[in-house]
């Protein structure tokens, strides 16, 4: 990944599929309010 091209808030986040409870780790700039233990 090239340095300096991503926003400062580009970070690891866990997304949860609410239909089946599966969680996966990705990177995103999405604003978050909740925390989970992955």
pLDDT at residue 7, as a whole number: 87
Domain boundaries, the chain: 1-31
Give the pLDDT band of residue 1 (cuts 50, 70, 90).
low
Q: What does the pLDDT read at residue 8?
A: 86
CB 13 within 8 A of CB 30: yes
What pLDDT score was predicted for residue 4? 81
Per residue in 4-38, pLDDT tens?
887 888 999 999 999 999 999 999 999 989 999 98
Helix or strand or coil: residue 27?
Answer: strand
Q: What's this model's pTM, rounded to 2 decimal places? A: 0.66
Tokens 């978050």, located at residue? 32
Evaluate the CA torsion angle 23, 27, 28, 34 in order and state its sign: positive
Q: Distance between CA 22 and CA 8 in Å, rounded?
A: 27
């Amino acid at each position: 990944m090239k340095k300096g091209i991503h926003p400062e808030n580009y970070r690891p986040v866990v997304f949860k599929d609410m239909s089946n409870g599966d969680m996966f780790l990705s990177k995103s700039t999405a604003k978050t309010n909740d925390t989970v233990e992955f």
